[in-house]
Amino acid sequence: MKKKLLVGLLSMLMVLMMMPTTVFAGEEVTTEQAFKDKWNDTTSTVITLGADIELDSMLTLGSKNMTVILNGHKLSGLSGGNVLKVIGDKTLTIDGTVDNSEVYGRLNVGDATDNNGNLVISGGKYVCQEGNTCLHVNGTCTNCSVTITNATLTSPDDNAIQFNGKGVYKLTNTEVTGKTGIYIKAGEVTLDNCTVKGNGAKDGTVIVNYNGSNPTGDAIVLDTTSDYQGNIKLILKNQTEVVSVHNSGIQEAVTDSNVSAVLLIQVDNSDVYGDESALKTGDKFNKDNADIKSGYFSSDVKDYLDENGFEIEGEDEHYIVGDTAKKVLANATKGKKFTVVVAPEGAKLDNVAEGVEVKNGTNHEIVVNGTKVATGKTIVAPKVVSPNTADGEIYMMLYVFAGFLALMGIVVMSLKRRQEVR
């Protein structure tokens, strides 16, 4: 009896192992109605597309968490309009990791009744119709979150992403392109190894728009308005690149408030370029809230550096800051020319490549490879002698000298013995 039961269990296990994994993930949907049925089913938490689907109206998620697996297909709003919305502190996850996965239309987080939502995007392409954004976070949000990884978001003639409400927004390995790439009115936005591009016309004027925004051509806009004050923080790290074709890489503007709500602009190992400027801030911005650690910039950012800041200007008129600048000097080819724009007083640049021309553009003395350089003077960097090499040479000289003394001692002793024999 026990043997028969064991054989039966093994047979059932083999059947289960042979069944396709889609059986466990849920049946694929291929029609709009099937998608809606899954969406509205209180027991369903996963929808897997088996074909391209267009929704005739936006669907709102507010009573459960849901994962939509695009599975290499395209999910669209009507004519590229609104597609999905998440509210009620629920989480909508969109899996676009399979090639050719796409969402065409606008994704929404939160709504006008103070309902927060959470959105997680992994992979895929996200495109919206003309005059619309790919991703919109409502301004009444108090604790929304958006996490995007390995995705591309593109708006043909508007802001690609708009963060209006308070929350935490993290983008990693993601490309964002629009007339303005990302427009921020509130929240903490972290860009980790991302590319953000603004390709709009050379306008640059941020217009007061309480419930919306205008594309400016900047790559990133930080907009302080009285209706959306949310203590903006922007963090760029790990080789993030921010580029405006016609305007500023980052623009901060106070459109309707007495003070700026921007608490932090941090740039570390990242590049910011703009045809007009890299970083443009208004007269109400507290420059102590800028933490420019390292990276490349298309314009001078010395006003945003602290007393320990370090900045050089290259022949291509790009400005390089912090550890990035020091690495450039160490690896530059002979004959390259740089101007030190900002450096602490008495700064020692001990690893500048031999033959590189360095001009001291600061108002105090600096030291290049052990040689003092006065204000306004230029030096061709001498050969770098590392401490280890120098120590080795000293030790060798001591060994030689000790050997010489030993030899002299032997000679003297030999002479004394000869005299004694005589």
* Residue 21's pLDDT band (cuts 50, 70, 90): very low
Domain assignment of residue 422, yes or no: no
pLDDT tens digits, one per residue of 280-308 = 999 889 999 999 999 999 999 999 999 89
* Residue 355's pLDDT band (cuts 50, 70, 90): very high
Domain assignment of residue 134, yes or no: yes
For residue 419, the model assigns a pLDDT of 57
For residue 114, the model assigns a pLDDT of 72
Domain assignment of residue 63, yes or no: yes
Domain assignment of residue 9, yes or no: no
For residue 140, the model assigns a pLDDT of 87
Q: Are residues 120 and 210 in the same domain?
A: yes
Q: Are residues 252 and 316 in the same domain?
A: no
Q: How far does the chain reach from its first CA to its final CA, in angstroms?
A: 117
Percent above pLDDT 90 for the chain: 70
Q: Are residues 215 and 326 in the same domain?
A: no
Domains identified in the chain, total number: 2
Q: Are residues 313 and 301 in the same domain?
A: no
Domain assignment of residue 409, yes or no: no
pLDDT tens digits, one per residue of 362-420 = 999 999 999 999 999 999 999 876 555 445 555 555 555 666 666 666 655 665 555 55
For residue 19, the model assigns a pLDDT of 45
For residue 393, the model assigns a pLDDT of 53
Q: Are residues 123 and 265 in the same domain?
A: yes
Domain assignment of residue 253, yes or no: yes
Q: Are residues 101 and 143 in the same domain?
A: yes
pLDDT tens digits, one per residue of 84-126 = 999 999 999 999 999 999 999 999 999 887 789 999 999 999 9
**Arithmetic mean of pLDDT, 203-214:** 71
Q: What is the torsional sign of CA 57, 58, 64, 65?
A: positive
Q: Are residues 358 and 269 in the same domain?
A: no
Domain assignment of residue 370, yes or no: yes
Q: Looking at per-residue confidence, does 16 or 327 come out higher?
A: 327
For residue 2, the model assigns a pLDDT of 47
For residue 7, the model assigns a pLDDT of 46
- Burial of residue 415 (CB within 10 Å: 0-12, 13-18, 19+) is exposed
Neighbours of 363 (CB within 10 A): 8
pLDDT tens digits, one per residue of 42-75 = 999 999 999 999 999 999 999 999 999 999 999 9
Q: Are residues 314 and 272 in the same domain?
A: no
For residue 406, the model assigns a pLDDT of 63
CA–CA distance, 418 with 114 (Å, rounded to integer): 108
From 74, 115, 251, 223, select the one nearest 162 (Cα to Cα): 223
Bridge pairing between strands 159-163 and 337-342: unpaired
Percent above pLDDT 70 for the chain: 83
Where does a domain end: 264, 287, 307? Answer: 307
CB under 8 Å, gap of 24 or more: what pairs does 397-406 form? Answer: none
Q: Are residues 247 and 333 in the same domain?
A: no
Q: Are residues 284 and 312 in the same domain?
A: no
- Amino acid at position 340, single letter: V
| Domain interval for residue 366 | 308-384
Q: Are 277 and 249 in contact (CB under 8 A)?
A: yes
Domain assignment of residue 402, yes or no: no
Query: Is the per-residue pLDDT at 143 higher than 90?
Result: yes
Q: Are residues 276 and 338 in the same domain?
A: no
Global pTM reads 0.85
* Residue 207's pLDDT band (cuts 50, 70, 90): confident
Structure tokens at 64: 């459960």
Query: Is the per-residue pLDDT at 182 higher than 80?
Result: yes
Q: Are residues 273 and 379 in the same domain?
A: no
